[in-house]
Amino acid sequence: MSQANRSLSIWQNLSGKPAGKWLFGRVICWKAPYFGTIRPRFIELRPGYCEVRIRKRRAVQNHIGTVHAIAVCNMAELAAGTMTEITTPVTHRWIPKRMSVEYLGKAATDLKAVAVIDPMPEFDAAMELPVSVDVTDTNDQVVFRALITMWISPRKT
């Protein structure tokens, strides 16, 4: 079984159970420890879509009391990467190639990141896959937007 299938299978097995979404986040952060710095909470995950939330807490704040820009970038990359992981077929692999970001407002509350692929591509030859991520505050205001380009290529046999 491929890693992508394992990640989706783990999500499907845990997400409906008490504390299952929290536990899924811990599994992802064990696999990629840096993401643990933001203490993500996965809300929804399916091929082409991922929603992650973080709490505004002292450990992710900057000197003016808002969520630090790099913490927001971290959140966006986590959402995009996890969604790409479960979307990419087992015959392919992926890695982030490029990330462009726009800071649109102060991140002064808890945050929600939504990563989407639209439209869903045909996965055959190597390709660049653009993943858009919007981060909103608790007032549904977009405070950050990223376009993360993933490099998708067939696995070597």
Alpha-carbon span 51 to 131, nearest angstrom: 13
Answer positive or negative: Cα dihedral of 131, 113, 77, 70.
positive
Beta strands 92-103 and 127-136, pairing class: unpaired
pTM as predicted: 0.92
Alpha-carbon span 2 to 123, nearest angstrom: 16
- Ranges of the chain with pLDDT below 70: 1-4
- Its CATH class, for the domain covering 3-154, is alpha beta
For 79, the token pair is 């959402």
Q: What is residue 4's predicted lDDT score, i.e. its pLDDT?
A: 53
51-90 residues labelled b (16+ CB within 10 A) or e (exposed)? bbbbebeeebeeeeebbbeebbbbbbbbbbbbbbbbbbee
Q: What is residue 2's predicted lDDT score, i.e. its pLDDT?
A: 46
Q: What is residue 113's predicted lDDT score, i.e. its pLDDT?
A: 98
